[in-house]
Amino acid sequence: MSRYLWLFLLLIFVVQDNSFGADRTLIRWVRRRPPIKSIVIEGNKYFSAHDIKGRLYSHEDSFWRRFKGDRRIRVQRENATRDSLEVMYLYLTNGFVAARVRSEYEPIGADSAARVRIIIDEGLQYRYGAVSVAGSYDRKFNPQLGKIVGRLKEGKLVDPFQLRQAQYDMKTVFANAGYPYAEIGYTLDTTATSNIAPVAFSVEGDSLVHFGAVKIEGLSKFPEYVARRELKMKPGAIYRRDDILNSQQRLYESGYFSSLTLNRDESSPDRLRPDFILSIRERKARYAAVQAGAAQSLYQDLLWDFSATFGQRHLFGSRQIELTSAYAFSVGRHGRLTEHRYTLRYTEPWLLGFRMPLTLSGEWRPRIHSQTQPYDISSWSVGTYTVKKFGRKITADLGFLYQSVSLYGLAADQPVIEIQEKDYSNRRKLYLDYRRDSRPNPFIPDRGSVTSLSVQYVGGFMGGDDSFKKLEASFSSYQVVWPGWISASRIMGGWVREFGKSSSVPREDRFFLGGASSVRGFAENTLGPLRSDGSADGANVTTVFNQEFRWKTIQILQNTPLIKGLFKQFPLWQSVFFDMGNGFRSFSEFKFDVLAYSCGTGIQLVTPAGPIRVDYARVIPTEHFGPQSRWHFTILYAF
């Protein structure tokens, strides 16, 4: 008896030892990251194998994918989990709420390549039935709740993520109306024999809550009112979740704090009037900064900018003062210092008790040789402006500028109107700028839009050398049109016109088109009305349209020996574009057949400072424009 027992135990040991050996063999095989030779889909009925493979993280090995450096053509530890999640998401968002997915991989062939096997149990596909809301809550919320559940259309495919979003939105409605303890639940009835699944939401509103006191911790350099005035949470006010989020955003935007937390005081005795604790980490009261980088100007494709800034954030309590010196150097054979300026700014963060920062500024530009004219020029200016934010997307600026300019070595017959540099003239200017930006990522936007409007009133009743009105407007839109492909569109225009004693608009205030940021294929600022010598004269009316498609391209730099480590975090993007536009002296000159057209392609290296861009554009020949091409090298996208 004991003999057979020992043989039985030995058999178990051998089997276990072989299984452990097999597991160790499999683990060593996975660590070698073998290439994926084939992907097999089993159990699918509703979706084709092609559709499912397109969703997988794993990809079959191919020359093209190897050339691109696609790491997903090899087995990795996360393959199985990510493949299962991708397929599960596909089925769940199409009504298969009981679907099950399993991902496996196995070695095949003499070269130990891998086969990925996706095993699917689809289950039934469900559609929404009747949707109801019941529970104990104030019926004044019914209109808002009705809009939320109205998105769950009867007969449409059930989407669990849509249901959870509806649950979250209901919770938000109550949390922004004084009921943060409201409980929202839902049930999806899949017990019926049919594929129609009714949805029942249950709501328990609980009690009305008001804000308690806010205790502030961590202040030492700045007075307490610097933080307290940014809080939207007033003691005794009805609890609103948005007030907490807005308070945090306003505190960051104030510029005094580097980090903060705003949490409920767990020791607060009254749950219906909770206290909060604001913990703050202050920024330095005095600071210095040095910046350097590439830029683009009205006259140069590429400039090197350098600046040094010294500032204080707690002057007279919370007022701010800043001194900046900035320099610009042109790049190329005739490179030289093209600009140097010194600016002093004083900012009152809250104007007359309103959250509208008022800035007083003075600027001096020492004597320097003009970039386009045979004389030297210097100027000084003083101005003031205020900024108002409306929510998270809209910003408006209102300002006034007084500027004086001096010319040296000006020929007796050289009129002042020939000055080309922007902002160089004796003038008094009122301006208003409006901007709405809904892009989540300004460097590589894939959704959202940007709307901007700028209005200037120069001279007139304020005096000065020139009197004119100027209007600029633009609208840009971004959206994903194909997986990984982004469509970017822009339309913009401008209008400027003299009035009063002025006979024309100074050239520096007209519009100049052509170049890397408007209509590519032309040299910078050479498109539009011309003077008798063939140089650009500037336009009073402009219109521009741009269409661009952007996508992440082959990562050549990340797969090049010696430098691949350096560019590992800098992906390459590619684009194709079409530009059209022109400038005119008046609206009467505008005609579609005199617009300039160009097309081309570009490469962008995405860095932490923004995309470094190289574009190649060709002008499409028309009756008014001959064939020509041009390379453009600059930073950031054209729009």
pLDDT tens for each residue of 517-536? 899 999 888 899 988 877 78
| Dist. CA 302–CA 475, nearest whole Å | 26
What three-state secondary structure class fits 9?
A: helix
Query: Which residue type does 431 have?
Result: Y
- CA dihedral for 77, 80, 83, 85, sign (positive or negative): negative
Please tell me what DSSP assigns to residue 29. H
Residue 14 or 147, more confident = 147
Residue 55 sits in the same domain as residue 10 = no
Q: Which residue, chain included where needed, has tokens 């797969």?
A: 559
Phi–psi pair at 530, nearest 5 degrees: -115, 155
344 within domain boundaries = no
327 within domain boundaries = no
For residue 107, pLDDT beyond 50: yes
CATH of the domain at 137: 3.10.20.310
Find the range with the poorest average confidence among 67-81, 83-97, 544-558. Answer: 67-81
Q: Do 90 and 52 contact (CB within 8 A), yes or no?
A: yes
Residue 70 or 99, more confident = 99
Residue 133 sits in the same domain as residue 116 = no
Residue 194 sits in the same domain as residue 139 = yes
For residue 22, pLDDT beyond 60: no
Q: What's the pLDDT score for residue 351?
A: 85
Angle at 255 between CA 177 and CA 216, to 5 degrees: 55
Strands 376-390 and 394-408: antiparallel
- CA dihedral for 242, 244, 249, 253, sign (positive or negative): positive
> Where is the domain boundary, 88, 121, 154?
121
Q: Do 522 and 619 contact (CB within 8 A), yes or no?
A: yes
46 within domain boundaries = yes
Q: What's the pLDDT score for residue 557?
A: 66
Q: What's the pLDDT score for residue 19?
A: 35
pLDDT range class, residue 20, cuts 50, 70, 90? very low
Q: What's the pLDDT score for residue 507?
A: 80
Q: How many CA atoms lie within 13 A of 322 on its CB side?
A: 19
329 within domain boundaries = no
Residue 162 sits in the same domain as residue 220 = no
For the CA atoms of 293, 296, 302, 306, the dihedral, rounded to the nearest 10 degrees, stands at -30
379 in the Ramachandran plot: left (φ > 0), alpha (ψ -120 to 50) or beta? Answer: beta
pLDDT range class, residue 4, cuts 50, 70, 90? very low
Please state the rounded mean pLDDT for residues 426-453.
Answer: 93
Strands 214-217 and 276-282: parallel
Q: What is the DSSP string of 317-349?
A: TTEEEEEEEEEEEE-STT--EEEEEEEEEEEES
Please state the rounded mean pLDDT for residues 326-343.
Answer: 84
Q: Over pLDDT 90: what percentage of the chain?
A: 62
For residue 294, pLDDT beyond 50: yes
Instruction: Give the Cβ contact number of residue 571 at 10 Å.
Output: 17
Residue 133 sits in the same domain as residue 117 = no
Residue 70 sits in the same domain as residue 9 = no
Query: Which residue type does 410 have?
Result: L
Residue 1 sits in the same domain as residue 43 = no
Residue 404 or 577, more confident = 577
The two structure tokens encoding residue 408: 């040296």
| Dist. CA 156–CA 149, nearest whole Å | 13
Q: What's the pLDDT score for residue 301?
A: 57
* Total H helices, total E strands in the chain: 8, 25
Q: What Cα–Cα distance (Å) separates residue 486 from each residue in 56, 480, 570?
A: 21, 4, 18
Q: What is the CA radius of gyration of the chain?
A: 33
pLDDT range class, residue 193, cuts 50, 70, 90? confident
Burial of residue 606 (number of CB atoms within 10 Å: 0-12, 13-18, 19+): middle
Q: What's the pLDDT score for residue 7?
A: 34
Phi–psi pair at 32, nearest 5 degrees: -75, -5
Q: What's the pLDDT score for residue 137?
A: 94
Residue 11 sits in the same domain as residue 56 = no
| Dist. CA 632–CA 606, nearest whole Å | 16
Q: What's the pLDDT score for residue 52?
A: 93
Q: What's the pLDDT score for residue 604?
A: 92
196 within domain boundaries = yes
Per residue in 580-634, pLDDT (tens digit) is 999 999 999 998 889 999 999 999 998 887 888 999 999 999 999 999 999 988 8
Residue 148 sits in the same domain as residue 183 = yes
pLDDT range class, residue 558, cuts 50, 70, 90? low
Q: What's the pLDDT score for residue 536?
A: 82
For residue 414, pLDDT beyond 90: no
487 within domain boundaries = no
Q: What is the domain count for the chain?
A: 4
Q: What's the pLDDT score for residue 421?
A: 42
Residue 200 sits in the same domain as residue 224 = no
Give the bridge partners for 431, in sequence order.
399, 456
pLDDT range class, residue 75, cuts 50, 70, 90? confident
Q: What's the pLDDT score for residue 11?
A: 35
381 within domain boundaries = no
Angle at 475 between CA 584 and CA 537, to 5 degrees: 20
| Dist. CA 134–CA 346, nearest whole Å | 57
For residue 151, pLDDT beyond 70: yes
For residue 230, pLDDT beyond 80: yes
Per residue in 363-396, pLDDT (tens digit) is 999 988 876 566 788 889 999 999 998 888 999 9
Q: Over pLDDT 70: what percentage of the chain?
A: 89
Residue 391 or 119, more confident = 119
Of 224, 156, 234, 160, give the one whose Cα is nearest residue 195.
156
Residue 633 or 207, more confident = 207
Residue 218 sits in the same domain as residue 174 = no
Residue 114 sits in the same domain as residue 192 = no
The two structure tokens encoding residue 564: 């691949």
> Where is the domain boundary, 239, 258, 282?
282
| Dist. CA 639–CA 280, nearest whole Å | 37
Q: Which domain does 88 fall in, by range?
A: 32-121
135 within domain boundaries = yes
> Where is the domain boundary, 262, 282, 302?
282
